[in-house]
A and B are shown apart, each in its own frame.
Chain A
């Protein structure tokens, strides 16, 4: 955690980008409950410069948590297309990855990465807040070293 604190003047655009990840979320289920500690003062995502925004046009990161139905997928695609580049997609939970417990449901899609590009996967059913924090730190490191998303 020590190395993540900004020291002196921010040197590059990548550094600035990593420290100001604005988030638009698309939550359908339990994944949001595990991300909530990061919104509140317990884990406090704002110390990393992460902020929830209301419009996809202001957002850098799209967080998808929980199962994605066929109907929801269209809305997710539309949100993704409205976001300015560089944009990152973070997926929480096993449902969007493999279908999870809805693996034989007629209504949900099974692999989200076949529809939109995904940068960060956080496993779990649902993932713990610590896992999400680890993923955020790893993503910030990658963005600092010039990663611009898939």
Chain B
């Protein structure tokens, strides 16, 4: 994202953009949860029309989960990462299926691996894990070694 796009976004969503990290061809924007949908749809409208991925980062010390939307612009050849922080206790965020239909499978996977509820996603049923009863496996407080020892090495 170039400087002018950022200044354009700042003029529109001044109080919603918390942090901007400018790198060579990759820009990260940390935005507030209330306005992230509007920012994403604005970015889609000005050319960032490819959603590469939706990922999550678990910040256990701050008790927050960061949802990252990786955008790519085919015309500008620029990458933009939109980061949204949500609470770790009851993580839920609005789905972006209305903007990009391809976000459905990413959100379904993040729901399974991080336990985030994407409001508005039509199908959040388990994708890889069957009969999973533990906490979601990509959470930082999930003890994989302990689980493997108990579930496989002691049972088998």
Contact = CB atoms under 8 A, between A and B. Distances in A.
Interface of A: 69-71, 74, 99, 103-107, 109-111, 114
27 contacts: A69-B128, A70-B129, A70-B130, A71-B128, A71-B130, A74-B130, A99-B152, A103-B148, A104-B144, A104-B145, A105-B144, A106-B137, A106-B142, A106-B144, A106-B147, A106-B148, A106-B151, A107-B128, A107-B129, A107-B137, A109-B152, A109-B156, A110-B152, A110-B153, A110-B156, A111-B156, A114-B156
A62 to B, nearest CB: 20
Contacts of B137: 106-107
A148 to B, nearest CB: 26
Interface of B: 128-130, 137, 142, 144-145, 147-148, 151-153, 156
A114 B154 CA distance: 12
A103 B145 CA distance: 10
A68 to B, nearest CB: 11
A103 B144 CA distance: 11
B148 A105 contact: yes
A103 B152 CA distance: 10
Contacts of B152: 99, 109-110
Contacts of A99: 152
A51 B145 CA distance: 41
Nearest to A99: B152
Nearest to B155: A114
A110 B70 CA distance: 35
Contacts of A109: 152, 156
Contacts of B145: 104
Contacts of A74: 130
Given A71-B130, A110-B153, 18 more contacts: A69-B128, A70-B129, A70-B130, A74-B130, A99-B152, A103-B148, A106-B137, A106-B142, A106-B144, A106-B147, A106-B148, A106-B151, A107-B129, A109-B156, A110-B152, A110-B156, A111-B156, A114-B156
A105 B151 CA distance: 11
Contacts of A69: 128
